[in-house]
Amino acid sequence: MNQEELRDTIIDALDQDEWEQALNLIEQYYREYGPDFFYFMSLSDCYMYEERFHDVLDLMHHAKELGFQNTYIHERTGDALIGMGRFEEALESYLQCDIDDDDAEMLRIRYIIGFCYMKLNDYQNAASYFEDVLLEADYPMAYLMCGTAYMMLDKDQLGIEYIDKAVALDSNLLDEAAETMNQMGSLEGLHSLLDHHLEADNADHLQYEYDFFMENDQYDEAIDRMEQLKNSAPNIWTYSLLGNAYAAKRESEKANRCYRAALDAENVDMDEKDVLTAKLILLENLGLNKSEQYQYLKEYLHSAKANLDIYSKLCEFATEHENKRLANQLMKIETDPETPESIAFHISYYMTFRMPEEGLEYMKTIDHSMPQYYAILLLFQYYAGHLDEVIALKEKALPDGHAAFYIYCSYLQTGRFEEAENFFKTYADSFDDPDDENWEIFSDLIHDLDQRFTDR
């Protein structure tokens, strides 16, 4: 296909979230037509989706070296920097954009500049940029952010008006607007929102007030609101939230009574998955033993056969809390062996209950192209004591941080100290970014290992 047709095919793949296909097509485009502006922007779209923000910055730097200095390059650089939480640098990049036009893209950049100023606690400049956006368009989030900026500047009435306008334009912003009032400690602002956007007899009034008082450490008021709500709807949520308020007051006996009542409450017309989620939290709060945990959860085993969400939640709880009785029952459930939930549980089961040989047998049955397959296989080999096999998997398992640590340990445990030192240096040198997740995992594990030796 010619250049224009290939561009259109890439755009279609991006629009349909076919990211792997898009990457392959972009590589083809690069081979045939070289690094032009379309190449840089389309590849950065893929990197942004994958949250490969450092790669985006490298790509944009290369684009600038080739003379592509324009608003879109600066904007994409800013987007990556925001993804990394580097708001001051992001602001510098966005300010290099030509934002004089009033089209949607330039309004977006003005909004993000305001957002960066908010993150940097420069509320005056933030409000100024949000106002620029609002001169051209009734953008609900701009009203919300601008109102927040005004409240931070002690212009509460103006801030409340702007936030109220945001919710009037988009009712889905009510929760976020209420949370803003909670954080500001503005009960007046919260009541203004509720009076304008909820019916007077709506029970959510009590829920929003409860959230406000909890946020602002007014626990007696929170208890009063939740008692009222619990009396009209005595279910797992109202008892749980009442318990949370007592726990915040450090009245643990009352809190635990509420949590117990929550576990035993009837939950009419409530989604089974939501009730299970709440029960799992309660079991954590109460610190019940494994037998009690099982008694409260066994009723969900039947549902787990047909509901993958329930199955997944139970599996995660069973392995995290090393509840083997529950885990064994879940192992008996016949699920599609190729689902990510089933694979994850089986791997966790064999890891949690120290069954590496069984884990190695299981790994033979699943797709070897699965992400992290070789890193997981390496862990089973290590726990089984097969240290030479661990080292042999080095090329396939890296750059995974956990795998790197156990490779390093395997060198040490087999007395190959020079190779261990060389491996450590080579692995460290492979990272340009000191904040790379794999390097941080490896570094933390090494630190813990050193600490254990130091404490001996």
- 67, burial (CB in 10 Å: exposed 0-12, middle 13-18, buried 19+): exposed
Residue that has been written with the tokens 């630190």 in this structure = 447
> Could you read off the pLDDT of 57-97 as tens digits, one per residue?
999 999 999 999 899 999 999 999 999 999 999 999 999 99
Task: Round to whole Å and give the CA distance between 368 and 156.
Answer: 59
Which region among 16-30, 97-111, 215-229, 305-319 has the lowest average model confidence (pLDDT)? 97-111
Helix, strand, coil content of the chain in percent (nearest 5): 75, 0, 25
Q: Which residues of 322-357 are buried (b: 16+ CB within 10 A; e: fewer)?
A: ebbebbebbeebebeeeeebbbebbbbbbbbeebbe
Say what the pLDDT of residue 202 is: 83
Distances (CA, A) of 48 to 10, 218, 241: 16, 42, 38
Q: What is the pLDDT of residue 416?
A: 96
The pLDDT score that the predictor gives to residue 102 is 67
Tell me the percentage of the chain whose pLDDT exceeds 70.
99
101-144 residue pLDDT tens: 667 888 999 999 999 999 999 999 999 999 999 999 999 999 99
| Domain range list for the chain | 358-455
Q: Which tens digit of pLDDT belongs to each residue from 304-349? A: 999 999 999 999 999 999 999 999 999 999 888 889 999 999 999 9
CA–CA separation, 171 and 374 (whole Å):
48
Nearest to 242 by CA among 265, 226, 221: 226
| Tokens encoding 91 | 């602001």
Q: pLDDT at residue 445 above 70?
A: yes
Nearest to 358 by CA among 368, 367, 349: 349
pLDDT of residue 455: 67
CB 161 within 8 A of CB 130: no
Contact between 128 and 99 under an 8 Å Cβ cutoff? The reply is no
Q: For residue 44, give the nearest of 32, 91, 68 by alpha carbon.
A: 68
* Predicted confidence (pLDDT) per residue in 243-255, tens digit: 999 999 999 999 9
Distances (CA, A) of 226 to 210, 237, 283: 6, 10, 21
C-alpha–C-alpha distance, residues 94 and 99, integer Å: 9
Residue-wise pLDDT for 198-208, tens only, equals 987 788 999 99
pLDDT at 99 over 90: no
Note the CATH number of domain 358-455: 1.25.40
At residue 456 the predicted structure's pLDDT band, cuts being 50, 70 and 90, is low
Query: Which tokens belong to 398?
Result: 């890296």
Q: Compute the distance between CA of residue 187 and CA of residue 250 in angstroms, rounded to an integer.
A: 24
Q: Render 399-454 in DSSP notation, one character per residue.
A: T-HHHHHHHHHHHHHTT-HHHHHHHHHHHHHT-S-TT-HHHHHHHHHHHHHHHHHH
Q: Does residue 6 sit in helix, strand or coil?
A: helix
CA distance 139 to 116: 17
Q: What is the pLDDT of residue 69?
A: 86
